[in-house]
């Protein structure tokens, strides 16, 4: 059964590589066919010699100082403190890419970090050791929120695992696999609700957590955003 | 990448255009999705090169010169894209003048549908042959970000190609 699955995975991997090589060579050939024709070459070089820049000017040039003043005024008039240029983002710790932004519909392989026993202090050592035996490793997430915004979380249980929080980091404590779990896929959902400073809900997210063949994965499944929040993001 | 010492540190703009004009044009074309902007961007890149070398600055190696030109070319494209509220999509008639095979047109069309940040890394990696570290240096990104963008770009490109099959 396992051999069959492994063979299937190997086949998929091979198919991916063949696809990649094929696309790489086709892309290379196709893009290399894009060359400026003779009149275009002449126009470019004549333009350079004449020192002309931006034949088709895109926007009137405004001195940087004027722009800076306008920007400052608009910030003072319209912006809520801490919101401009920010949005809600969930990051997950990965082995290969470090903190990785979760994107809807993309499954990410998580980094399994050994459970740290040093943070509880000496008096907690025996408890931590017990916990470590039960939860050999953890996967971590962090949220980036606009200032004054808060979040709440709920974890739909995934067997014996649980979600906790330490120093602003959400930790998924992963319990040891039981013998009967071999070959099984287990899934659970982490729900996140984000509220603004008036405690109005502005967004809700669902992260699907999966344990498969000893690996842990996360996927941002469903994102709900309030109309007001969406408009602000678009305006930004 | 081959590190070739420059024999003449300040090549004339014509020589640079002769050597790198096609490369700068195809990068600008893929980024801007039209020939008119691509021409303007190449022209502005060469003017910047002229100003750079006239100011007495030289390049240590030929690779350094090439990487500098690519970086300026891409930055000018990005500046331009910021001005456009709606990024215009290239029409098939513009692309089809380069291709006879429908498959090639479809591949290029799919590439142009990708967001600019994926397009630029795919282009530099697959077409210009740069490695993650070199692309990271050119685009001032971390290596991990470049690798992730390559992975996501490939995935998206594959998705678009499969959808249009």
Is the domain of A51 the same as that of A106? no
Mutation to test the B interface, candidates A29, A48, A49, A234, most B Cβ within 10 Å:
A48
pLDDT of B83 strictly over 90: no
A173 shares a domain with A93: yes
Same structural domain for residues A122 and A225? Answer: yes
DSSP letters along A17-32, please? HHHHHHHHHHHHHHHH
Q: In the predicted model, is pLDDT for residue A124 greater than 60? A: no
Record the tokens describing residue B63, joined without a space: 């690779």
Among B35, B47, B144, select the one facing A48 at the smallest CB separation: B47
Check residue A183 and give its pLDDT.
79
Residue A75 located in a structural domain = no
- Asked whether residue A154 is assigned to any structural domain, the reply reads yes
Buried b (16+ CB within 10 A) or exposed e, B140-153: ebeebbbbbbbebb
Class at the top of the CATH hierarchy for domain B91-165: mainly alpha
The confidence band for A105, taking pLDDT boundaries of 50, 70 and 90, is confident
Nearest CA in chain A to B44: A53
pLDDT at A103: 87
Query: Distance (Å) from the C-alpha of residue B141 to the closest C-alpha of chain A?
Result: 13
- pLDDT above 70 coverage of chain B, percent: 84
More confident residue, B114 or A119: B114
Instruction: For residue B105, give the chain A residue with the closest CA.
Output: A30
In a domain, A72, yes or no: no
* Same-domain pairing of A189 and A103: yes
Q: Is residue A213 part of a domain?
A: yes
| pLDDT at res. B1 | 39
A1 lies in the same domain as A111: no
Q: Tokens 């893009």 map to which residue?
A: A31
Same domain, A113 and A218: yes
Q: End-to-end CA distance of chain B, in Å?
A: 36
Domain contains A69? no
Flag whether A130 is in a domain.
Answer: yes
* A10-39: average pLDDT: 80
The total number of structural domains in chain A stands at 2
Q: What are B20-79's pLDDT values in tens digits?
A: 999 999 999 988 888 888 998 999 999 989 888 887 778 888 888 999 999 999 999 988
Q: Give the pLDDT confidence score for residue B93 in this predicted structure.
A: 46
- Please give the structure tokens belonging to residue B68: 């500098």
Are A226 and A156 found together in one domain? yes
Can you tell me the mean pLDDT for A45-60?
A: 64
Mean of per-residue pLDDT scores for chain A: 76
Name the most confidently modeled range: A25-29, A134-138, B2-6, B136-140: B136-140
Q: Do A180 and A111 fall within a single domain? A: yes
| Per-residue pLDDT tens over the stretch B112-155 | 888 888 999 999 998 888 999 999 998 989 999 999 999 999 88
Question: What torsion, rounded to 10 degrees, do the Cα atoms A132, A133, A139, A140 define?
Answer: -20
Q: How many CB atoms lie within 10 A of CB B160?
A: 18
pLDDT at B15 over 70: yes
Min CA distance, A141 vs chain B (Å)? 18
- Do residues A188 and A128 share a domain? yes
The domain boundary residue, chosen from A61, A79, A111? A61
For A59-73, A95-109, A138-152, B141-155, which range has the lowest pLDDT when averaged over its residues? A59-73
- DSSP for chain A, please give it: -HHHHHHHHHHHHHHHHHHHHHHHHHHHHHHHT----HHHHHHHHHHHHHT---SS--S----HHHHHHHHHHHHHHHPPTTTTT---EEEEEETTTEEEE--BT-EEEPP-EEPP-GGG-GGGHHHHHHHHHH--EEEEEEEE--TT-EEEEEE---TT-EEEEETTEEEEEEPPPPGGGTT-EEEEEEEEEEE-TT--EEEEEEEEEEEETTEEEEEEEEEEE-HHHHHHHHH-
pLDDT of residue B6: 45
- Chain B residues with CB-CB distance to A34 below 8 A: 25-26, 29-30, 98
Indicate which of A20, A26, A27, A56 best probes the interface with B, i.e. most B CBs within 10 Å of its own CB.
A27
Residues A112 and A198 in one domain: yes
In chain A, residues with a C-beta closer than 8 Å to the C-beta of B145 are 97
Question: Nearest C-alpha of chain B: how many angstroms from A13?
Answer: 13
Question: Would you state the pLDDT for residue A146?
Answer: 80
- Residue A33 to residue B99, Cβ atoms within 8 A: yes
Helix (H, G, I), strand (E, B) or coil at B38: helix
Residues A173-210 have pLDDT tens digits of 888 877 777 778 888 888 888 888 788 888 888 899 99
Tokens found for residue A195 = 């509220």
Taking the whole predicted model, whether its pTM rises above 0.90 is answered as no
Residue A69: φ, ψ to 5°: -65, -45
Can you give the residue range of the structural domain that contains A18? 1-61
Q: What is the pLDDT of residue B4?
A: 42
CA distance A156 to chain B (A): 29
Residue A204 buriedness (CB in 10 A; 0-12 / 13-18 / 19+) = middle
Residue A148 forms part of a structural domain: yes
Kindly list the residues from chain A whose CB atom is less than 8 angstroms away from the CB atom of residue B98: 30, 33-34
pLDDT grade, residue A1 (50/70/90)? low
Which of A16-25, A131-140, B36-45, B86-95 has the largest mean confidence?
A: B36-45
Q: What is the pLDDT of residue B67?
A: 92
* Interface confidence (ipTM) of the complex: 0.72
pLDDT at B3: 40
In the DSSP assignment, the letter for residue B41 is H
Domain-by-domain residue ranges, chain B?
Answer: 12-88, 91-165
Answer yes or no: do B29 and A34 touch at CB < 8 A.
Answer: yes
Higher per-residue pLDDT: A54 or A162: A162
CB B40 within 8 A of CB A56: yes
Instruction: Look at residue B121 in the predicted model and tell me its pLDDT.
Output: 93
Are residues A100 and A24 both part of a single domain? no
pLDDT for B87: 46
Question: Which CATH number does B12-88 carry?
Answer: 1.10.1740
Q: Are residues A51 and A94 in the same domain?
A: no
Distance CA B112, CA B26 (A): 12
- A167 vs B156, which has greater pLDDT? B156
DSSP-assigned beta bridge partners for residue A174: A137
> Chain A residues with CB inside 8 Å of B157's CB?
23
């Amino acid at each position: 059964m396992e051999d069959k699955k492994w063979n299937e995975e190997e086949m998929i991997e091979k198919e991916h590589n063949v696809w990649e090589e094929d696309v790489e060579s086709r892309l290379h050939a196709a893009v290399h066919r894009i060359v400026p024709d003779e009149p275009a070459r002449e126009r470019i070089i004549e333009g350079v010699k004449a020192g002309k820049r931006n034949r088709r000017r895109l926007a009137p040039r405004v001195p940087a100082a004027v722009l800076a003043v306008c920007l400052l005024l608009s910030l003072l008039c319209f912006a809520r403190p801490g919101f401009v240029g920010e949005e809600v983002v969930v990051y997950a710790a990965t082995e290969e890419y470090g903190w990785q932004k979760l994107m809807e519909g993309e499954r990410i392989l998580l980094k399994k970090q050994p459970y740290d026993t040093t943070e509880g202090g000496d008096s907690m050592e025996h408890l931590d050791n017990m916990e470590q035996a039960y939860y050999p490793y953890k996967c971590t997430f962090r949220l980036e929120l606009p200032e004054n915004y808060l979040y709440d979380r709920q974890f739909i249980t995934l067997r014996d695992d649980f979600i906790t929080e330490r120093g602003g980091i959400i930790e998924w404590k992963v319990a040891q696999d039981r013998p009967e779990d071999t070959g099984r896929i287990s899934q659970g959902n982490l729900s996140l609700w984000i509220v603004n400073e008036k405690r109005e809900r502005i967004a809700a997210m669902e992260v699907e957590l999966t344990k498969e063949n000893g690996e842990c994965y996360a996927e941002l499944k469903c994102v709900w955003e309030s109309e007001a929040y969406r408009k602000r993001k678009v305006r930004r | 990448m081959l590190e070739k010492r420059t024999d003449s540190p300040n090549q004339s703009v014509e020589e640079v255009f002769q050597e790198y004009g096609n490369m700068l044009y195809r990068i600008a074309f893929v980024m801007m999705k039209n020939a008119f902007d691509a021409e303007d961007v190449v022209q502005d890149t060469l003017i910047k090169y002229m100003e750079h070398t006239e100011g007495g600055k030289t390049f240590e190696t030929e690779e350094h010169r090439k990487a500098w030109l690519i970086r300026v070319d891409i930055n000018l494209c990005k500046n331009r894209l910021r001005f456009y509220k709606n990024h215009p999509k290239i029409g098939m008639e513009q692309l089809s003048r380069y291709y006879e095979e429908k498959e090639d047109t479809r591949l290029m069309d799919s590439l142009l549908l990708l967001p600019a940040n994926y397009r630029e890394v795919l282009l530099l990696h697959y077409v210009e042959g740069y490695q993650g570290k070199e692309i990271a240096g050119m685009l001032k990104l971390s290596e991990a970000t470049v690798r992730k963008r390559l992975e996501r770009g490939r995935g998206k490109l594959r998705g678009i190609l499969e959808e249009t099959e």
